[in-house]
């Protein structure tokens, strides 16, 4: 029987319908089911984040799932402890599910981290090593250092998120508020009457009196961290502890861009694990020389440590008051970058002289006196034989 062109066209259309529409319909059903599963398991991960407060770090929960089976779970406990993703991977392995991790999905309430400017290794490295090939996260991390989603996608991992931004923001309201507050940078300097912080031979022990030095130890005890440069470590070999009864030793941050300090320096030998080495040196051989369970290392990109990025990183660690005790080079860099908020200047009754003897602020400095930042709340106080000038700087 002859078939008309119209019937032939209808049959062809029906064949196309069967070929494309039904598989598409099946795909849509599968997609909807996956969305339901993603919501179910992400909600579980979010519920895990509501445990004890890990402040100043964010609340994070994580879950690893494969074929509707939960392989492992975990949540973040606090600063210096493994992140939720690592807890979940470790839990999966301890449950005997290590071989099932390949091809599994990680559900985590906060975007995984990919940077090294913190206390613990990047979570993205562990995710890739485990074989997990899909990540679903609830909230994008506002910390510009993180960007774990972008990194994982570049490595071929399927990433979905943020899928529960508002809910996770509500849970982490304290963390988000604290992250927006930059650390307060406090500059401390001791100088002679003629404005020198050391002799031409770089000798500075001691320009200030014993009473002034004791006051500095109390100041250290009140701050979250001390910052010094490589020059101070090389010249003075300090321990940077508070050394007062019942005093608190702050975190010690050593900025050594090229790793010019000795790994055997006193500050690196402190056994309390509260020392952070900040560098741009990426040589594994060099970094290995500083390897110690009591020392954390933050490796920055480029040839020079970005001070603003450093402050962002320290702020994310919950360090909100930083005592800048470095020499004129580091102080000058912070001054040039307009990053100093407060100062303690001890003027001591000594004369040093010498055109090569250093002054408190190195760096480029100002071109015109009228550019000098506004100072306010200035106070003058006698400390033993020294004069202490304290005040705050209005950042422009």
Are 106 and 168 spatial neighbours (Cβ–Cβ below 8 Å)? no
Are 240 and 188 spatial neighbours (Cβ–Cβ below 8 Å)? no
Residue 209 neighbours by CB under 8 Å, 6+ apart: 348, 383, 384, 385, 386
Best CA proximity match to 204, nearest among 343, 344, 348: 348
Listed in order, strand segments (DSSP E) in the chain are: 61-66, 69-75, 105-110, 134-139, 158-160, 184-192, 225-229, 251-255, 275-279, 295-299, 321-324, 342-348, 374-383, 386-394
Q: Is 167 a residue of the active site?
A: no
| DSSP annotation string for 170-204 | HHTHHHHHHHTSPPEEEEEEEEETTS-SS-TT---
Q: Distance (Å, rounded) from C-alpha 240 to C-alpha 253?
A: 10
Q: Distance (Å, rounded) from C-alpha 190 to C-alpha 186?
A: 14
Q: Distance (Å, rounded) from C-alpha 314 to C-alpha 63?
A: 28
Helix (H, G, I), strand (E, B) or coil at 205: coil
Among 85, 111, 325, 333, the one annotated catalytic: 85
201: left (phi over 0), alpha (psi -120 to 50) or beta: alpha
Bridge partner list, 324: 187, 227
Residue 66 neighbours by CB under 8 Å, 6+ apart: 100, 101, 103, 104, 105
Are 161 and 136 spatial neighbours (Cβ–Cβ below 8 Å)? yes
For 377-383, the CB contacts below 8 A with 24+ separation are: 383/209, 383/211, 383/212, 383/215, 383/346
Q: Distance (Å, rounded) from C-alpha 97 to C-alpha 327?
A: 53
The catalytic residue positions are 85
């Amino acid at each position: 029987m002859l078939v008309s062109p119209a019937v032939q066209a209808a049959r062809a259309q029906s064949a196309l319908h069967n070929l494309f529409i039904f598989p598409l319909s099946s795909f849509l059903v599968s997609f909807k089911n996956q969305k339901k599963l993603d919501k179910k398991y992400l909600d579980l991960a979010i519920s895990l984040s509501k445990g004890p407060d890990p402040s100043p770090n964010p609340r994070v929960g994580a879950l690893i799932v494969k074929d509707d089976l939960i392989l492992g779970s975990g949540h973040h406990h606090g600063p210096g402890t493994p992140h939720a993703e690592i807890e979940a991977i470790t839990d999966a392995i301890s449950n005997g599910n290590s071989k099932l991790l390949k091809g599994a999905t990680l559900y985590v309430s906060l975007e995984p981290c990919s940077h090294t400017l913190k206390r613990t290794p990047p979570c993205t490295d562990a995710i890739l090593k485990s074989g997990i090939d899909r990540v679903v996260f609830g909230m994008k991390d506002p910390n510009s250092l993180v960007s774990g989603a972008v990194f994982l996608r570049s490595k071929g991992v399927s990433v979905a998120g943020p899928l529960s931004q508002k809910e996770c923001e509500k849970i982490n309201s304290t963390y988000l508020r604290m992250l927006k507050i930059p650390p307060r940078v406090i500059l401390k300097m001791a100088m002679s009457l003629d404005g020198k912080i050391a002799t031409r031979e770089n000798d500075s022990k001691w320009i200030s009196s014993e009473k002034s030095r004791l006051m500095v130890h109390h100041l250290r005890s009140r701050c979250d961290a001390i910052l010094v440069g490589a020059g101070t470590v090389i010249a003075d070999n300090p321990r940077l502890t508070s050394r007062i009864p019942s005093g608190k030793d702050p975190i010690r941050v050593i900025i050594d861009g090229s790793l010019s300090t000795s790994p055997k320096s006193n500050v690196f030998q402190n056994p309390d694990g509260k020392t952070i080495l900040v560098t741009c040196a990426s040589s594994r051989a060099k970094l290995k020389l500083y390897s110690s369970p009591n020392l954390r290392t933050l490796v920055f990109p480029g040839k020079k440590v970005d001070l603003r990025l450093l402050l962002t990183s320290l702020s994310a660690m919950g360090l909100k008051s930083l005592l800048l005790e470095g020499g004129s080079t580091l102080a000058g860099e912070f001054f040039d970058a307009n990053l100093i908020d407060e100062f303690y200047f001890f003027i001591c009754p000594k004369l040093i002289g010498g055109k090569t003897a250093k002054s408190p602020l190195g760096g480029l400095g100002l071109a015109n006196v009228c550019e000098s930042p506004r100072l306010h709340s200035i106070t003058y106080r006698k400390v033993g034989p020294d004069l202490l000038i304290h005040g705050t700087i209005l950042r422009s």
